[in-house]
Amino acid sequence: MKDFNIPLLTAEDIDCRVQSVSKAKNGTVGAVLLLYKDARVDMRILDQVFGPGNWQRTHELINGNLFCTIEIWDDEKAAWVKKQDVGVESNTEKEKGQASDAFKRAGFNVGIGRELYSAPFTYVELNDGEWKVEKVQGRDVYRTYDQVIYIGTRKHTITHAELWWTGGVKYFKTDAFAGTIAGDFIVDTEHGDEANDYTEPHFTVGDKAYNWDAVPIVWLKYNEEELPLCYFIKDLIDDINWQTSVTADVLRDVAKFIYILKNYGGQDLGEFIKDLKEHMAIKVTTDGGVDKLQADLNIDAVMAFLDKQRRDVYDFAAAVDTKDPDLGNASGTAINFRYMDLSSDCDSLATELKDTFQRLKLFIDVYLQIAGKGDFSKETFDIVFNMDLPVNETDVIQNAVASESLLSKRTILQNHPWVTDADEEMERIDAEKKAAMEEYGEGLFGDALGAGKGQNGQSAPVNGGGADGDE
Spatial separation of the C-alpha atoms in residues 244 and 267, rounded to whole Å: 42
- pLDDT greater than 90 at residue 455: no
Q: What is the pTM of this model?
A: 0.43
pLDDT at 45: 92
Which residues are bridge partners to 148 per DSSP?
A: 157
The mean of the pLDDT values for the chain is 77
CB atoms within 10 A of CB 345: 20
Residue 271 has pLDDT above 60, yes or no: yes
How far is the C-alpha of 19 from the C-alpha of 31, rounded, in Å?
Answer: 7
Asked if 169 contacts 163 with a C-beta cutoff of 8 angstroms, the reply is: yes
Give the H/E segment covering residue 338.
helix 332-338
For the cut 80, the answer to whether the pLDDT of residue 334 exceeds it is no
Question: pLDDT digit string (tens) for 418-441?
Answer: 888 888 989 998 888 888 888 776
What's the pLDDT tens digit per position in 341-359? 778 888 888 888 888 898 8
Is residue 391 pLDDT above 90, yes or no?
A: no
What does 27-49 look like in DSSP terms, one character per residue? S-EEEEEEEEE-HHHHHHHHHHH
State percent of the chain over pLDDT 90: 7
Query: What ranges do the domains of the chain cover?
Result: 11-126, 141-210, 229-338
H/E segment holding residue 350: helix 340-370
- Give the pLDDT confidence of 6-41 residue by residue, as tens digits: 899 988 888 887 666 666 667 677 777 778 888 889
Q: How far apart are CA 359 and CA 352, in angstroms?
A: 11
Instruction: Give yes or no for a contact between 174 and 184, defined as CB atoms under 8 angstroms apart.
Output: yes
* Alpha carbon 37 to its chain's center: 20
Of 318 and 200, more confident: 200
> What is the distance between the alpha carbons of residues 44 and 40, in angstroms, rounded to a whole number?
6
- Strand-pair category, 154-165 with 199-200: unpaired
Least reliable range by pLDDT among 254-258, 389-393, 458-462:
458-462
Read off the amino acid at residue 28.
T
